[in-house]
Amino acid sequence: MSDATEPWLIVGLGNPGPEYAANRHNVGFMVADLLAERIGGKFKRAQKAQAQVVEGRMGPPGPASRRVILAKPMSYMNLSGGPVTALRDFYKVPTDHVVAVHDELDIDFGALRLKLGGGDNGHNGLKSMTKSMGPDYHRARFGIGRPPGRMQVADFVLKDFSSTERKELAYLVDRAADSVECLLAEGLERAQSAYNS
């Protein structure tokens, strides 16, 4: 098991570019942006990977504070593994200190599930990460629900949140950011009992 002094790499998954910014598939970017704001950092281009990063500390001052690297891969979603693995290696982050924040079809809109390891459930970003570095990283899964009627999954995830969903989105992104902070500060079990729904 890794020790408390080792850094954490928190990766918001999404697609780069303004046309994707408000898509369901980009909720990982939304959470990463909020976490960056909380630690007072601005994303800048990474030296060693196709990604934007912010470095800082998260949690209360003192021994409970954690060194974090927040990242948004600037490859497309299905190529996320390369940039994430490059950042993990560059910053010497243990794989179990990597957290992928991503949209999840099989959970109701707004529900959260935190877990360590597991399958990719058809999510192309996770599939790419697991292929690059194995499955033993944390996931913060943000529920987006299933597409309505006969809508294709690819069309659904690349659409913006509905106007009804947008009314709750800021609160839910805030809660997802809280869950990541709790995971780092108090561990997976405490974060799961507080936030898994």
Q: What is the pLDDT of residues 137-163, one digit of tens each?
A: 999 999 999 999 999 999 999 999 999
When pLDDT is cut at 50, 70 and 90, the band that residue 64 belongs to is: confident
Of 172, 159, 43, the closest CA to residue 109 belongs to 172
Q: What is the pLDDT of residues 89-134, one digit of tens each?
A: 999 999 999 999 999 999 999 999 999 999 999 999 999 999 999 9
pLDDT, residue 157, reads 96
pLDDT at 182: 95
CB 98 within 8 A of CB 84: yes
| Residue of 25, 102, 123, 138 with catalytic role | 25
- For this structure, is 97 an active site residue? no
Cβ–Cβ < 8 Å for 133, 85: yes
Sign, CA dihedral 73-90-36-169, equals: positive
Query: What is the pLDDT at residue 95?
Result: 96
Residue 3 has a pLDDT of 61
The pTM of this model reads: 0.96
- Structure confidence at residue 5 as a pLDDT band (50, 70, 90): confident
* Amino acid symbol at 137: Y
Give the C-alpha separation, 139 to 118, whole Å.
9
Give the residue with greater pLDDT, 42 vs 4: 42
Residue 59 has pLDDT above 90, yes or no: no
Instruction: Count other C-beta atoms under 10 Å from residue 197's C-beta.
Output: 11
Give the tens place of pLDDT for each residue, 11-32.
999 999 999 999 999 999 999 9
Hey, which residues does 52 pair with through a beta bridge?
Answer: 45, 72
Residue 92 to residue 98: CA distance in whole angstroms:
11
What's the confidence (pLDDT) of residue 1? 44
**For position 60, what pLDDT does the model report?**
80
Provide the strand spans (E) within the chain. Answer: 8-12, 44-45, 51-58, 66-73, 98-104, 112-116, 138-143
- Per-residue pLDDT, averaged over 33-54, amounts to 95
Of 39, 35, 47, 30, nearest to 10 by C-alpha is: 35
